[in-house]
Structure 1
């Protein structure tokens, strides 16, 4: 099965037009659906990484925020429709070194998300950096397309190189339930803040590597990113970053995973944590 080529470009998907006052408007299309490629994209919703990147851009452009993004927290209130969506940002508090902002996004009669961003400048101080990436060098990894029967539609915009394979269907042992890979967007753009927000959610949920097939569907409820240092054009000129996604817990109809992103030279760039609601078989009622 050969996936169809995307219609909308990533630049167009990340673009915002002016709304009323500070509001910004994005156009959501099925190209970025989180539904599997084997199904109708309209059965899914715009994937969380795109929505997170749009939330950051709306805060930056609507409020003219300049310092680097430090933390982003997103609550997905409901699945957005594939149509125009309005992001309305608010500056909660601004300062010389730290700014706090929030944004609400939605469509008529349908709130989609609320997000909070912390933006701050870096200063001088002690430095301890214990995080380290997968030891597998990039040159030792082959391009690895995700199985199109399981890959979401949005993965057509991303190039993946898996360390040890995708591990779908229980291929990751519980002693090390970690998915390791390199990713970049297929247009090869240098890594930047928005692209990193996009890629930090740019793969199937990591719990699919510890549970047997068929995959259990889910919806993102909470997503948090903590950026460790500003992303500049020199961070990764060819757009690559190293990612590690670790399944922390799957129980009670919920899944929790952590992610880490590194620059190609091994510098830690960001942490991510995501909580998802699973849509598996319902428990029978008690007698």
Structure 2
């Protein structure tokens, strides 16, 4: 549960935690909500969000989290808004978003979804509660044979996901989905180690200009590179009809098990 306090700050209970604090995708979505509100206050005309970047500087716990947006530029074509999130005296997150007006021009579908069974024909996935408490808010079904901790050959996981509260799949909800699957390295490992997000950038598809999607989304995450204690993961989110909703890339820390408290 995420609760808004009288002073405008938010609190996040442990049902939305990952292994070491509040879920990164949820935190990004809260930053986006704050920036969307600030942009609307500065300019009433509509501008969908085009990209969102979040830097994670410290874990977020149950204490009040203050998210302060700042409008850097408002124009008819595009706007830039930033935010800083603090907990106590600690800066926990920094981020920014670009908003852009809908323009007439050429289109290209791009990034077709993989050919996988639909959600009704895919196997339900049960997350370990100690690794992913946030999973109690979603239903996940594996769309391919790849599973965490089976020592596979490819660092890639693909699954159907839906929110159990049936929330519309707007940009803030999709930001959560880009980080909803386990780190892709889990597909080639045989035991868990923490791989927290350090930075997440989401580019939102133009399909959202027509309004939110709903129901199931297909999510794929794959590791593009890993070494020296860092990993680069790419995620793609498609609607149930195969339309791209978002493309994301994140930098992750790879923490040795011996350093995992």
Q: TM-score, normalised by structure 1?
A: 0.82
Aligned mates of 1:154, 1:119 — CA distance in 2: 28
Hey, what does 1:178 align to over in structure 2? 156
* Among 65, 74, 99, the residue aligned to 2:79: 99
* Among 58, 64, 82, the residue aligned to 2:34: 58
Report if the CA contact (8 A) 2:235-2:249 is conserved. Answer: yes
CA shift digits 1:65-101 (9 cap, x unpaired): 6411100011001112211100000001000120100
Aligned mates of 1:221, 1:167 — CA distance in 2: 24
Hey, what does 2:195 align to over in structure 1? 218
Aligned mates of 2:121, 2:142 — CA distance in 1: 7
Structure 2 CA distance for partners of 1:57 and 1:235, relative to 1, 3 Å: closer
For structure 1, list consecutive stretches of 5 or more residues without a partner in the other structure.
Answer: 1-7, 36-43
Report if the CA contact (8 A) 1:103-1:116 is conserved. Answer: yes
For structure 2, list consecutive stretches of 5 or more residues without a partner in the other structure.
Answer: none
Aligned mates of 1:234, 1:69 — CA distance in 2: 12
* 1:32 and 2:10 aligned: no
Count of residues paired in the alignment: 255
RMSD after superposition:
2.2
Aligned to 1:226, the other structure's residue is in SS state: strand
* 1:109 and 2:85 aligned: no
How much has 1:63 moved relative to structure 2? 3.7
Report if the CA contact (8 A) 1:158-1:183 is conserved. Answer: yes
Aligned mates of 1:132, 1:16 — CA distance in 2: 38
Aligned to 1:55, the other structure's residue is in SS state: helix
Q: TM-score, normalised by structure 2?
A: 0.89
* Among 208, 215, 222, the residue aligned to 1:246: 222
* Among 209, 213, 221, the residue aligned to 1:236: 213
* 1:209 and 2:187 aligned: yes
* Among 51, 63, 70, the residue aligned to 2:50: 70
How much has 1:282 moved relative to structure 2? 7.4
Aligned mates of 1:137, 1:229 — CA distance in 2: 25
Hey, what does 1:153 align to over in structure 2? 133
* Greater strand content: 2
Hey, what does 1:192 align to over in structure 2? 170
Aligned mates of 1:132, 1:53 — CA distance in 2: 25
Aligned mates of 1:33, 1:154 — CA distance in 2: 5
Structure 2 CA distance for partners of 1:139 and 1:227, relative to 1, 3 Å: closer
Report if the CA contact (8 A) 2:177-2:237 is conserved. Answer: no
Aligned mates of 1:162, 1:199 — CA distance in 2: 14
How much has 1:220 moved relative to structure 2? 1.1
Report if the CA contact (8 A) 2:157-2:181 is conserved. Answer: no
CA shift digits 1:189-227 (9 cap, x unpaired): 2322221111111122111112221x1112211100000
